[in-house]
Structure formats: C-alpha cells, structure tokens
Amino acid sequence: MNKILASIITIGDELLIGQVVDTNSAWMAQELNKNGIWVGHRVAVGDVWNDIWNALDQESQRSSIILITGGLGPTADDITKALLCQYFGGKMIVDEGALRNIKKIFERLQRPMIERNLQQAEVPDNCKVIPNKRGTAPGMWFEKEGRIFVSMPGVPHEMKGMMTDDVLPSLHSKFSLPAITHRTLLTAGIGESFLADHINAFETALPPHIKLAYLPNYGMVRLRLTASGPDKATLESELDGQFARLKTLVTEWMVIDTDLSIQEALGKLLKEKGLTLSTAESCTGGYIAHLITSISGSSNYFKGSVVSYDNGIKQRLLKVDAGTLEKTGAVSEETVREMVKGALQLLDTDCTIAVSGIMGPGGGSEKKPVGTVWVAVGNHQKIVAQQFFFRFDRQRNIELTATNALNLLRKFILSEY
C-alpha cells in the first residue's frame, strides 16, 4: 500500500520570530499519523503573499494533502483567504452558515459586531466550507489536480475541532488509508542510551512493519511501538505480543504501560489507592503543583501546596526548625524531611512531596553547586529523601526536579500501600 503524504504549512510572522510556538504542526502530525497519513514536510512562512504562494506550489508537488493554518483572522495582516481565492481562481461570496455562526457568537458574548467581523463569513465560491464550531473564521477545503488543500484557523482550539470533526473523516472517505496502531510505555531511572543497549536484541528482531521509537523528556523515556499494514485486527494482535515482550524487558524502570505523563500516572495511582496529596515547594516555586493540577480530576486527590521559597515561610508555615536551617541549610535532607512533616500537618493529606534546591544560574557553592536538589516524600509513618544533581539551565533544572519528585512519590506509594 502506497504512503499518502501530507504537508503542513503554518502561516504567521509571529511563528518565524519565535513570539508564538508552533504547537499546531506537532498536534496535526500526530493525528495524521494515527490515521495512516505520513507527514513529509512542515513549512512555516510569514504573512507574505509570494512566500505563501510559493509554499503552496512547492508542497503541492510533494504531497497529496496540504494542510494550512493561520492567516484567517479579521486584521489586515491576515491574507490567507484572499490569497487562496486567487490561487484557486474563485471569487468571494458570503457563506450564510458562517454568517449565522458569527452572529450567534457575538449575541452570546453580548458584543457589538463591526463590518470587519462580518467579513469573516466571506469565502471563495469554489471551496467547501468547513464549519467552525469553536470560533468565527470558517475553514476551507479545495481540490486541484488530485491534491487536497485545507485551510484552517491558527487558533489551536479551533483547528483541532475542525480536524477532528470534519477534516480527518473527509480524508478517510477520499483515500484508502493503511491501519496504524501504537503501544507506548513510560520509563524512568535509566538513560536513553543505556535503555537502547538493554533492548537492542529486541529492537533488532522486530519485523520491518513494526518500528520502535525512543522519546526522551526530563529524566523519562517513552518507548513507542508503531505497526502499519492493511489489516488492523492482525496488527493489534501482533503488536500486543511484541509490547508484552518489551514490557518484560523494561519492568525494572517502567512507570506505566500507556501513553501518559508522570503526573497522569501518579494521579491514576493516587485515585486507585484513595490517597490525598500536598506539596511543599521551595526551588520549584509551585511547578510541581502546576503539573499535578494540569490533569483533569486532580481535585479528587490534590489538596494544595505551600510555596515556601523564603526560609521564614519554611519556619512559620511548615515549622522547619531554625536550628536545622542554620546548621544544614535550606538545601539539605534534614530541611526537606521537616518540610514533609509540616505540610502533612498543615494541609492534612495522606502524603506529601517536598523539594529544596539550587536552580541557578547563581546561588551555588563548592559544597552545593548549582543543580543540587533534595527531594523528600512520605506519609505520617515514613519519609524517604534523595539527593539529585542536575547540570542544565534554570528552567530545565526545575522541570527535572519536578518529574523526579513525582516519580519518587510514585515509587514510595507502590512500596508502602
């Protein structure tokens, strides 16, 4: 079965200067891959007529599907719609469905409409209109010389709605797509290179239609098996067998055997055990609490956090002894153990994470260089602590501290409950 290739074109000066990070391409590529469509190229262009036109010409020579995001707003720099109208030889008309949608949105928001807003209902007469159920700018589907061009808003929430509800189902009706299926697990406590050596024989023995990918991120490595072929049921059965063998090989380091983050895995475990959690954070400044509460349903197990960045807060709220801070310092095993005890008492939870460290770039010393971190986790009966040494910039050190702290608590819960 021949591969169906797609190109993604993202439009906007803000993408080229780094003012906005392009998350659209990554999400679209993942969804296309799940549906048996391979992304051959991703292109970012500014709000420049000739650059957009040339990108359309070039990508239509490479791919059967060209997906475009951006440039559909109501301001003067949003030129995508006018360009597409000329590119495909159409003329602008008002789409009544899009117009009703825009009026409905402004009525609901109780905001006045101006002519510029109404113009968003205009589309080329030779496109298929894609309804925007999450915003005002409609999407557009064009076909030319056997190629499909789809233009969608750059707002991620709106684009995702169009892709899910309309674009992907329509692509399935247009193409005979192969079945693609994945299995993913998350590991912690082993580096990517060591992991690759450990499972080298397994990877080498995989059949050609099954691929293994290593996806490292902040002290964790996801392993993803991907199989492609004509029959989904056969692939699922074969991939299940290979995935079972992979899990056996990495049992020592496996966090969870589904495609979940460490905070999702921990949340799942807390719910299963019926436990509540709090955090006492110094060097991470609330980042651990942010990761935990980014998960829907975290209110079932997470009660709150004390961001004790200042030693005075450690003393007054968490009851860390002044003598401990004077003798061992804020970045010490003794301090984080006392932070755990104080948070358990103050926030009345079953278990707690406490962290204190030096994130950099300043603040380090010969005995405690930048990247030195102490993490403690525990409950009312037992506390365990571990020292870490990170070597990166401030933000990455914070992120590594957070993920390692979450994983330390996960292992503690598995051993104690």
The CA distance from 180 to 200, in Å, is: 23
**Single-letter amino acid code for the residue at 146:** G
Q: Tokens representing 303? A: 């009660």
DSSP 3-state helix, strand, coil percentages of the chain (rounded to 5)? 45, 25, 30
Q: 88-146 pLDDT, tens per residue?
A: 999 999 999 998 998 898 888 888 888 888 888 999 999 999 999 999 999 999 999 99
DSSP lists the bridge partners of residue 347 as none
Strand ranges in 13-76 using DSSP code E only, listed in sequence order: 37-45, 65-69
Q: Tokens representing 288? A: 């651990």
Per-residue pLDDT, 108: 85
Helix (H, G, I), strand (E, B) or coil at 245: helix
Flag whether pLDDT at 286 surpasses 80.
yes
**Single-letter amino acid code for the residue at 273:** K
Per-residue pLDDT, 143: 97
Helix (H, G, I), strand (E, B) or coil at 191: coil
Q: How confident is the model at residue 269 (pLDDT cuts 50, 70, 90)?
A: very high
* Cβ 15 vs Cβ 77: under 8 Å: no
Flag whether pLDDT at 178 surpasses 90.
no
Q: 46-79 pLDDT, tens per residue?
A: 999 999 999 999 999 999 999 999 999 888 888 9
What number is the average pLDDT over the span 349-363?
Answer: 97
Q: pTM, whole model, 2 decimals?
A: 0.80
Helix (H, G, I), strand (E, B) or coil at 199: coil
The CA distance from 16 to 214, in Å, is: 28
What domains sit in the chain, N to C, each tagged with a CATH number? Answer: 4-174 (3.40.980.10), 179-256 (3.30.70.2860), 262-416 (3.90.950.20)
Q: 185-225 pLDDT, tens per residue?
A: 999 989 999 999 999 999 999 999 999 999 998 889 999 99
Per-residue pLDDT, 179: 85
